[in-house]
Amino acid sequence: MWWFQQGLCLLPAALVVWTVASFVFAYITAVVLRHVDPVVPYISDTGTLAPERCVFGIMMDVSAFLGIATVYVRYKQVEALHDDEVKLQRLNCFGLVLGWMSSFGMCVVANFQKTTIFSMHLVGAVLTFGVGALYILVQTLLSHYMQPQIHSKTTFVVRLTILVWTLGSIISMFVSSVIMYTVLSGVDVPRKLHWLPGEPGYVPHMVSTVSEWFLAFSFISFFLTYIRDFQKINLRAVAVLQSSHLYDGNIPPSRQNRPSETSPLLAGTT
């Protein structure tokens, strides 16, 4: 059996691969069409103009769906492992809500470009990265409580390292963005897609864009840590019928005496 056939590990793997593919496709298309500069543009800049923004939006919507599914499976896994600990269950539920909010933020970021509705794009970025960082924090705390009984200390240390990486990237991006907007007061920065070395605000702009890419890949790295965990879980849906028919109320008389699929088509003697 191949590694991706074990449990549901294909889910976080698909999330990571698909999201990276979304970034790479949008970046290559935007650079080839000269919509952005090739040297580390904002991720959202690569999906701002047509045609790349159309495909970028669709691909990020798929990533959001995969993120929602991955967060839910993680929630069910922790719930099954600690069904008798109230504190961990509450923390687990909180993580589920944060993860879904962060996934929804990806849809907002992808479908509200910063050159059209910047306020909504900013809301989406806060949901994706800000709330997403809280999700990583919650999952790191859960990993701390679960080691060494459920998994090794190494898993906790790796997730803690990624958490520090995430928080450092957020702080760096926020500070450099504030400096950039202060230097470029009066300039329509959200619509500025091309930058020249040496112009005002170029250095904080580069720090901000690099920080954003680092932040995005910290999230991707975090979901990579789910692959081994998801090899140990499967989910299945069970159909529970509330009735043997789909009519409202009683079965019509004309249908009551009809033979079922398992009853003989003809009755009587020959």
Q: Which residues have CB under 8 Å from 79's CB, separation 6+?
A: 89, 92
Residue closest to 98 by CA, chosen among 57, 141, 58: 141
Q: Write out the two tokens for 93.
A: 């539920």
What is the pLDDT, as a whole number, of residue 3? 79
21-57 confidence digits (pLDDT tens): 999 999 999 999 999 999 999 999 998 888 889 999 9
The pTM of the full predicted model, rounded to 2 decimals, is 0.90
CA distance 218 to 167: 10
d(CA 201, CA 243): 67
Strands (E), 13-119: none
- 3-state DSSP call for residue 203? helix
Instruction: For residue range 70-100, list pLDDT tens digits in order.
Output: 999 999 999 999 888 889 999 999 999 999 9
Instruction: Decide if 129 contacts 169 (C-beta within 8 A).
Output: no
Give me the pLDDT at residue 270, please.
41
User: Domain ranges in the chain?
Assistant: 9-231
How large is the greatest C-alpha to C-alpha distance in the chain, in angstroms? 99
